Amino acid sequence: MRAWEANIRRVVPYVPGEQPKGENLIKLNTNENPYPPAPEAAQALREMDYDQLRKYPDPAATELTACLADYYGVGRDQVFVGVGSDDVLAMAFLTFFHSQKPILFPDISYSFYKVWAELFGILYETPALDADFAICPEDYYRENGGIVFPNPNAPTGLLMPLEQVENILCHNPDVIVLVDEAYIDFGGRSALELLDRYENLLIVQTFSKARSMAGMRIGFAIGSPLLIRALNDVKYSYNSYTMNLPSLVLGAEAVRNERYFRETLKKITDTRERAKKRFRELGFSFPDSMANFLFVTHEHVPARLIYEALRAKQIYVRYFNQKRLRNYLRITIGTDEEMEALFAFLKEYLAS
């Protein structure tokens, strides 16, 4: 080994879901929205002044931040935006998890948490989900260096009732509690209403799921002005221009279009509820998801075989070869047509 190799930082990276190329495939593996972004955003893209790209974008993302603040009824000093919620979460880990005590997050949840903790040298412990895949709030009533969990959780889709989120906050006045609400719009009650009472609460959301904009990479955090200021200080110590101009313009336009947002959400949640019934009829069971995906297991057929059979038919779902998850598939809710194609295949496959 050459001497300089010893100085290279070695990390085990997060593995994002596959982005297969080609026509006529059904992509239900990365929890994207099956519907396009708001039509008004397309208009804004067409009207964008190309010459503006010569210049650096607004480092403070003033317009997008203001749109979000107005939409959620908080101060402009309570919103932080970043390049997808991954960027926002990474910044939050770097900013707020800076004690000698381990942070806590569930053993089964968004697998990026562990990667950031390792990258930034943050100690962590991972309390186990219960037998039904639920987070046990009591596991978080102990000394720690910070807390993070998704609500609804991924890949289970299970929603923690807001009372339990508040119980975790009540027991943790001395650390930052990060609630990752990537999927909250699909039927959950956001912790936003707790903000007034807990200055140590940071809520992170994304445009990638409910707002159909995974390709724009926009995420945001809402919290007390003190937390947002701390996040901004770290961001400006790292990269001032995180948000590109098209994201700033289209993101603001998407937030202004409440009606389209609500219509799309309703379509997806209606499809999800119908899908639950269909999966049950086919012999699947699953935690009762409040997200835009279902985490299903079949009574007889191993998940891996179903995953491979679907893949051969160009239907992509997510399979995790990990303890407790091995016999499950995470399936994103697509359009009604995509779900029909999925069920038609499953019906035939399971009968044979």
Positions touching ligand PMP (CB under 6 A) are 84-86, 110, 150, 154, 180, 182, 206, 208, 214, 219
In terms of CB distance, is 26 or 92 closer to ligand PMP? 92
- Least separation in angstroms between CB 110 and ligand PMP: 4
Q: How far is the CB of 88 from ligand PMP (least distance, A)?
A: 8
Q: 109 or 224: whose CB is closer to ligand PMP?
A: 109
Q: Which two tokens stand for residue 168?
A: 């975790």
Name the residue type at position 150: P
CB of 122 or CB of 346, closer to ligand PMP: 122
Query: Which amino acid would we find at residue 140?
Result: Y
**CB closer to ligand PMP, 109 vs 346:** 109
| Beta pairing, strands 315-316 & 26-27 | parallel
In degrees, to the nearest 5, what angle opens at C-alpha 216 toward C-alphas 84 and 40?
A: 125
Q: Which is nearer to ligand PMP, 28 or 182 (CB)?
A: 182
CB-nearest residue to ligand PMP: 84
Shortest CB 291 distance to ligand PMP, Å: 9
Q: Cis peptide before 155, with omega less than 30 degrees from 0? A: yes
Minimal distance in Å, beta carbon 116 to ligand PMP?
11
* Distance, CA of 133 to CA of 183 (rounded, Å): 17
* Shortest separation between residue 180's beta carbon and ligand PMP, angstroms: 5
Q: Which is nearer to ligand PMP, 57 or 219 (CB)?
A: 219
Cα dihedral angle (144, 238, 196, 112), rounded to 10 degrees? -50
